[in-house]
Structure 1
Amino acid sequence: MPGLRAHISTGALGRNIDHLRATVSPARLMVVVKADAYGHGALTVARVAQQHGITDLGALDLATALRLRAAGVPPEVRVLAWLYAPEQQFDEAIAARIDLGISRLSELERALDATRRRRAAGDHDAVAHLHLKLDTGLRRNGATAEEWPALVDAVARAEADGLAVARGVWTHIAEASEDDDTEALRRFERGVELARAAGLTRIERHLAASSAGLRRADVRLDMVRMGGHCWGIPSFDGVTPRDIGLEPVMTLTAPVVGVRSDDARAGRVGIVQAGYGDGIPRLAAGLVSVTVDGVRFPIVDVDRDELTVADPDALLTVGQTATLFGTGAHGEQTVREWGDAIGTLGDEITARILPRVPRAVGDEFVG
C-alpha cells in the first residue's frame, strides 16, 4: 500500500505560469524556486517554467542556483541568487553564469575578484552579471540610500573595465499596505535614476512579488518575481485559487491504515499514514480535515507517523485513500484553506513536507 505521497501536477503548474505571464505582461515573469520550490521540486518547476517560456529563475541561494545549472538549465535562462554566507566566494557562480544579487561593496569586490581569477584560469568570457539591490524600507538586505551612490558608481567602473554587467536593479517591498508600497516604489525609482545617471543604462527593474504583482500594474515594471502563485497558493486573504485564475499544483494523499473505537473520543476513528514526522503541522489537529470519497473527516490528533481522524458514522475502511489537501475539486480542502485555519501560509505548509516523502510528478492528478 503506497504511503504518504505528494502529487505534483505539471499541467496545473504550466497553466498557472501561462496565466501569470499573461497577467503581468509586458513585464516578464521570474519564477522563484527557493526552498525547493516550496516542496514542489526546484528542478521540476524549472523544467516546466522553461517549457512555458520563462527565461528568469530566482534561486535565493547559490547552492540551488548551481544545482539548477548542473541539472541542465542552460545559460540563456538567467538564474539569480542573492542570499550568501558571510565572505562568500563567487568563483563557482561566475563559472556557471549565475546572476548575483549585490547589496554591498564588499560583495561586489568578491564577485569581481572571482571574475579576475576565472579569466586568469582561461575563462576569457567570464563576467559578473549583477542585480543591484536597494533597500526601500523593508530592511531585507539591500543597500541603504546612503550606500547606494557608491555602489552604483563602483559597478559602473566595473562595467567600463569589462568585468561586470549590471542586469538589474531590484528590491523587496513589504506588501503590507498600498501607501507603504507606493512610497517604496518612489524610493526605488529614485534609486534607478541614480543608477542610470552613473552610466548603468542596461538595467531592468524588478520589485514586485506575487501579491503586488497581481494587484498593481504600476509596480510590475520590467519583471515580476512569483513563487506561491505559480503553484496555485494565493497570497491574498479570503481568496481561493480559482478566484485569481490559478490551480493548486500539489495534492497530498495517504492511505487509511486502521479503524478502531476510541472511548476517549466517544466514537470511532480512522488512522491515516501521515504525521508530524513527515512535516504535517501538529496544529492541524482540531482545525482541518482529510477527505475520503468526497466526505471530510476532521483531524483530531497528529502523531509522529499517523493522523487520527474522527469517523462517527463508521464510513472508513482500511485501504482507502485520504486526501489531506488538493485542488478542492473532490470536496477536499486546499492547502490555502489549511494555512488559513492553522494561522500560517499555504506555501509554508507545502515547504514543510519532507524531501523523503515521494513526489509523484505527472501532467494531471485525478483524486
Structure 2
Amino acid sequence: MLSSKQTPSFADNQERDTYAWFSQRAWVEIDLGALSDNIKQLVIFLSPNTQLMAVVKADAYGHGSVTVAQTAIEAGASWLGVATVPEGIQLREAGIKAPILILGATHTPEQIQAIAHWKLQPTLCNPKQAFIFSNTLEAINYNYPLPVHIKLDTGMSRLGTNWQEAADFVQLVQGLPHLHIASIYSHLATADSPDPAIMQVQHRRFEEAVTQIKARGIKIPSLHLANSAATLADPSLHYDMVRAGLAIYGLYPAPHLKNEIQLQTVLQLKARVTHVKTIAAGTGVSYGHQFIAPREMRIAVVGIGYADGVPRSLSHQMEVLIRGQRTPQIGTITMDQLMIDVSSIPDVQEGEIVTLLGEQGAEKITADDWANQLNTISWEILCGFKHRLPRVAVM
C-alpha cells in the first residue's frame, strides 16, 4: 500500500482516474484524510485521560495495516492492537514505535522470543501460559520486565481467565520473574446490542474482579474494556483506554449508535469496465445461465470477481455505481469478472470506473449494504478483499 508521502497529489478526479487506470483493473481506495478525522473525532469523544488503541489486526480490516497504523498514531491514537505476532513484527519492521498489544493467544517459545525481541506486548490468559512466558524469558537471559496484559473472561467465553479467579491469577503473574503487568482487560460480547443487559452484567463482573485484585494490595496500571460499540454506547466503559476497530474505519457497529459521532467511510472498492457488448433477448449471461436477458441489453464486463473478495453469493442481488448512477449486476459473479446492465447509460466505454463500495455523485453503497444482503456483518465484508487488489491511499 502506498504511504501518504508516496501517493500522488491528484488535482482532480480525471488525474486520479488516469493513475488508477494505469495501475490496476481493480483496487481498494483508502481515504487517509477520513481515517485521520475519525481518529481525531474519537479522541475528542473519549472520557478525559482515556487513550485510544487503534485495532489494526487482519491487515487493518483490509485497509492496509502499516499505512493505517502510521496515520492513526499521527492522528492521536496511543496504542495499536494486532491479533498475531507476525502482524506486530510487520509494524515494527515498518519503523512504528508505538506500543503494540497482541490480542490473540501466544504460548510457544518461538513466539515469546519474537515478542521480546520486537518489543511487543502479549495477552496472558491462564497460569500455564504465564509460566511458559516466565520460563522462556529466563532461558534466554532476558534482563528486562516484559509488559504483559491480563485478559479476563467476563462473559465472552473465548480468551481469558475466569473473572472469579482474577485475583489469584494476577497475584501469580505479579510474582513471576521477567513479567510486568501492564493492564487488565476484558472483551464485551454484546456491546452492539440495543439491549445493554448482558453488557452491564459483564461490566459488573469486571468491576468485581478489579475490586478483588485491589483488595490484595495490587496496583493496576491500566484498565480497558470497550470496543467500538461500547465506546460509543457508554462513557462509563472507557476506563484508561478503549480499543476501537470498526469505528476508525468509518463504520458503525450498530444502527442505534450512528448519532453518537460523525464518522467518514475510509474504504472504497473500484474496478474498470473491461468490455462492453450488446446481447439479444433470450441470451444467457455467465455460468449456469442463471440470468436470461429479457430484452436486448447493453452489458459491461467489470474486471473484479470473487477471487478479489466480491462474494459470489451477491450474484443478481447487488448494484454498482457508474457515472453516478445505480445499475444492477447480472449473471453469476465469476472468479475475476462480473457483468452489469448498462442499457440505460449511453455510450459506456472500456476503462470507465465502476464503484462497488463507496460514493459516486449523490449515490452511496456501503459494506453494511452488502452485509445486510448476505445476513453477515460489515467486519467480514471489509476483511474479505484479497491482496491482489492494491490499496491506493488518497488524501
Length-normalised TM-score, structure 1? 0.90
Tell me the alpha carbon deviations over residues 236-292 of structure 1, each in whole angstroms, 9 at most, x when there is no partner: 13776x883111111111011122234222233221110001111112223221101
Q: Do the aligned partners of 1:269 and 1:309 also contact (CA within 8 Å) in 2?
A: yes
Structure 1 residues 210-219 or 243-252, which shifts more? Answer: 243-252
Question: What is the match of residue 335 of structure 1?
Answer: 367
1:157 paired to 2:175: yes
8 Å CA contact retained: 2:299, 2:339:
yes
Instruction: Give 1:54 shift.
Output: 1.6
Aligned mates of 2:255, 2:99 — CA distance in 1: 32
**Cα distance in 2, alignment partners of residues 9 and 80 from structure 1:** 25
Q: Take 1:112 and 1:67, find their aligned partners in 2: how far apart are those partners? A: 25
Q: CA RMSD in A?
A: 2.0
Contact 1:131 1:169 in 2 (8 A): yes
Is contact 1:17–1:49 with CA below 8 Å preserved after alignment? yes
Is residue 186 from structure 1 mapped to residue 204 from structure 2 by the alignment? yes
Q: Does 1:102 align with 2:129?
A: no
- Kindly state the Cα deviation for residue 314 of structure 1 after the two structures are TM-superposed: 4.6
Deviations 1:126-156 (A, max 9, x none): 2221111111111021101354233111122
SS state at 1:332 partner:
strand
Secondary structure, aligned partner of 1:165: strand
CA change 1:243–1:280 in 2 (3 A) is farther
Distance apart, 1:202 and its partner CA: 3.4
Superposition pairs of residues 217-296 of structure 1, within 5 angstroms:
217-237=235-255, 244-262=261-279, 263=283, 264-266=292-294, 267-296=297-326
User: Quick one: which of 20, 29, 32 aligns to 2:55?
Assistant: 32
Opposite residue 78 of structure 1, the aligned amino acid is P
Matched, 1:71 2:94: yes
Structure 2 distance, partners of 1:171, 1:115, is 25
Range with greater deviation from structure 2 (271-280 or 80-89):
80-89
The sequence identity of aligned pairs, in percent, is 28
* Whole-Å separation in 2 of the counterparts to 1:328 and 1:99: 42
Structure 1 segments unaligned to the other structure (5+ residues): none
Distance in 1, Cα, partners of 2:272 & 2:256: 30
Q: Quick one: distance in 2 between partners of 1:336 and 1:96?
A: 36
Equivalent in 327, 340, 348 of residue 309 of structure 1: 340
Q: Distance in 2 between matches of 1:12 and 1:167?
A: 31
Aligned pair partner of 1:127 in 129, 141, 145: 145
Paired residue type of 1:165: H
Q: Gaps (5+ residues) in structure 2?
A: 1-20, 284-291
Cα separation, 2, equivalents of 1:314 and 1:60: 45
In 2, are the aligned partners of 1:294 and 1:332 still within 8 Å (CA)?
no
SS in 2 for 1:304: coil
Corresponding residue for residue 57 of structure 1: 80
The reply on whether 1:166 has 2:181 as its aligned counterpart is yes
Amino acid at match of 1:223: M
> What secondary structure, in the 3-state scheme, does the structure 2 residue paired with 1:134 have?
strand
Would the aligned equivalents of 1:247 and 1:327 in 2 still touch at CA under 8 Å? no
Residue 114 (str. 1) matches residue 132 (str. 2): no
Q: Distance in 2 between matches of 1:47 and 1:172?
A: 25
Cα separation, 2, equivalents of 1:47 and 1:250:
16
Contact 1:140 1:172 (8 Å CA) reproduced: no
Go from structure 1 to structure 2 and tell me whether the alpha carbon gap of 1:23 and 1:46 turns closer, same or farther (over 3 Å shift). same
Matches of 2:172 and 2:93 in 1, distance apart?
A: 31
Q: TM-score, normalised by structure 2?
A: 0.84
The letter for the 2-side match of 1:346 is S
Write the letter of the residue equivalent to 2:29: H
Q: Deviations over 1:78-120 (max 9, x none)?
A: 10013235645411102222111111111111221233234x2
Q: How many residues align?
A: 353
Which stretch of the first structure deviates more once superposed, 264-273 or 180-189?
Answer: 264-273
Where 1:7 maps in the other structure, the secondary structure is strand
